[in-house]
Chains A and B, each alone.
Chain A
């Protein structure tokens, strides 16, 4: 997370190196469309259509970011989650961004808890997805409004007041950030609204992601399973 120019992450700043990306999706049309949409900061170095292929390709080319569909054929039927667990050894180097048409909370939460750094819907524009890829490559988390909504729903909208349940609740500031993201604000807009730097926003979002991944409260999974629709 030690990046020299964190505050200008929204723009393609001085990138010496293009972000190396593997696209994992079982629809060839979607893969080629996505490839065409990604801008010049991004270099697609591999593609895969199934779980097994994905694990093989990712282990071989060791990309910076994997754009990962949540629903994938092959493997043991675990989809995107299985790809992440299959590449657990690379998690320090390779980062995963979940892509999904599924809005089902259980899918999204499962893939995030497996280790994905973010989640975006497939209807997102090429520009937005490029920005998200760059952000994830830099070690930050990417939250779509919907994921922020999931988080708020799962953790509740009351801020944490005691320190010892810190993993199970969001702090007041994190809640504010999540709310603004759910309202459709970009990180920059969140920063402006809360009079904080983009870097601070990113820190908050990363903290929320950590809680989402590490929180041991089983209600989270239960909640996701019950919450079939959003």
Chain B
């Protein structure tokens, strides 16, 4: 068997732009999303939410609601179990508040009724007695010693004594002598930044249908980034065994990290257990914005020293992230990512996690990195302006490369940063002329990437086709990419492979679709499963030919004699072997189970031109070019889509998207009118340049590409706007009122 161990270089299918398998269903409306599943006798669930940012729940009287027409069940946190650890208890208490409402929109109770209108009417009959408490929604205010305390006793031991109890974790990374480094600098810039919380903005609100019978067996159909995660969360919160709960993931209308947790599934299960009927819950957009996970909002200080010729001598960042009403660790990613693009002698990042009366933060593409890198890249840009240096040359001069001791600890292997910077420098965009009120900005971006727990089964059908069974919802085209890798490895046409996503009872455990892991890890497992199937095919053919297994080999999609000594045998194709499998030992399949390592970090560079209207503070994005290392782009359309999508979400984050809280602690803009994601006409064509520096950790050289693209836009746009407006912007979003004020004050 000749199976290569170095990344493959020559491909027949990988790297082409084949049709997506889910395309026709999606454009014709046949695709089944979370809200499209119904069952006989199904009830409609609805959730009562707190109107207060922070309030003690003195009592909940559900008696009137229980008596209301059509109502079959009412549940509160009392209907949940008591999981053994904080992680699951926090999920439980976020699904239905226990004792205190911790933010505006926090779920308090839920009903299931025979119609939506009956459920709506019943919700109003639930009487909740609140004692309203002082609240805090701003990260800096929440760190003040006298701030209202969101939750008592949640701080880890690494938080210094005397700080507000809202500060739950503290992290520190770095190396070298900062004082000596700053002493060597010709210029030091120190700035403070703030960024608003943003939402993932997936177009499909969370939706599920759940059924839990008296026998303790249940099913959940839902849109999620991870059916195994839903199973674990529900099993813990409901107090049932994992084996008794089957979770089936629907098609998913966007996730971006926001569907890596549960909000409604445990509630629907509790309602179903109580009523004995299947229960469907579909969140409204307002519920999604008020009560599912936005990102952190931040307050950050960055100090960087540079020599006249552009060498960074020392760098320091102090990051304060609030992640809502529960402890969260996102700042750790920010603190690690902040200076990852630089080769530094002296660097330190400090991070502080803070609780506020806001919804529990959930992952959003490269969680924690975009904001930290926004602050760092803004200061680097300002130093370049002050010292009259080319911002790309400075980044090339200081770029991390193979052998660099990264700011967060590891020493880098092969990374594509220098290549992307050089590609940006050589691109015509970088030297194109700019007009009045226009500015050009750039930023590096970084993400760790992840491998993780993965299972794949690959089955040969007797007609010579192949089915791949994998356990990760397809949020970025993974079914196409996985089919392509299976077809490549088996040397059969792409359309002979169909990849499906298993429910939790049909395949072993898989980590959620996150960390840009699926094309990498599931791809790797698929290739290994295909190789296992090929070994089995070789074994079968060897038996047919009466040879030892090492006397046959896999070549050009067929099993052949390994050499002249093996005798004359016509090659046997996969289809021929599969057709007689029942007579040679039974069905042929390949499996692979792995906790995949070697994901390989990912770097990108974004280049953007903006024009600022000095009379209104409006920003127009004129031109946008992305350079990113994909390792190997399995399906270039999807890779470009990830790059463009990240840029668009970053444009929204930079310019208009923000969670706006009033004095009363209530969210002011829980809808897509005033939570402004970019619309198509806001955007120029976004050009993409894919670099392919093979990842040694994957048989085809693949790197994850899904998260890095949202990291650079914040800084790239802030740098472009600051240059266009002639004033350094230090707060996101750079909405027109904020930008016009900065321009006016600078005049």
Q: Do chains A and B interact in one complex?
A: no
Residues of A within 8 A of B (CB): none
Residues of B within 8 A of A (CB): none
